[in-house]
Amino acid sequence: MGDQKETDPMQKYVCEICGYVYDPAQGDPDSDIPAGTKFEDLPDDWTCPVCGADKDSFVPED
């Protein structure tokens, strides 16, 4: 199951700092991230649009 989750392009990720949920279906329009962008494919310098934390602060949402 774990492997399936990691490869699921629609897997949502949640910011452990502030609780913001990155939803690939929506992308992050404010940072010019188009809908359909997998979390893994976000640029390394992408940060949480709410609290500014980096990608390392995100974990897959259950």
Partner 1 sequence: MRPVEIKEGIFWLGAVDWNRRDFHGYSKAHKGTTYNNFLIVDEKVTLIDTVAEEFWGTLQCNLAQVLGDRKIDYVVANHLEPDHSGCLAKVVEKYQPEKIYTSPMGQKAMKAHFKYTDWPVEVTPTGTELSIGKRTLSFLETRMLHWPDSMLTYCPEEKLVFTNDAFGQNWATSERWADQVDRYRLEELMANYYANIVLPYSPVVLKTLATIKEMGLEIETICPDHGLLFRGDDCAWAMEKYQAYAEQKPKNKAVIVYDTMWHSTEKMAEAMACGLADEGVSVRFMCMKNNHHSDVMAEVFDAAAVIVGSPTHNNGILPLMADMLTYMKGLRPQNKIGSAVGSFGWSGECVKILTQWLEDMNMEVVEGIKNQYIPDHEVFDKCYEQGKAIAAAIKAKL
Residues forming contacts to partner 1 in the complex (CB under 8 A) are 17-19, 30, 50-52
32: left (phi over 0), alpha (psi -120 to 50) or beta: left
CB of 38 to partner 1, least distance (A): 23
Nearest CA to 52 out of 23, 25, 30 is that of 30
CB of 22 to partner 1, least distance (A): 15
CB of 17 to partner 1, least distance (A): 5
Specify the residue, 3 or 45, whose C-beta has the smaller distance to partner 1. Answer: 45
- List alpha helices for 1-62, DSSP H: 2-7
Specify the residue, 3 or 32, whose C-beta has the smaller distance to partner 1. Answer: 32
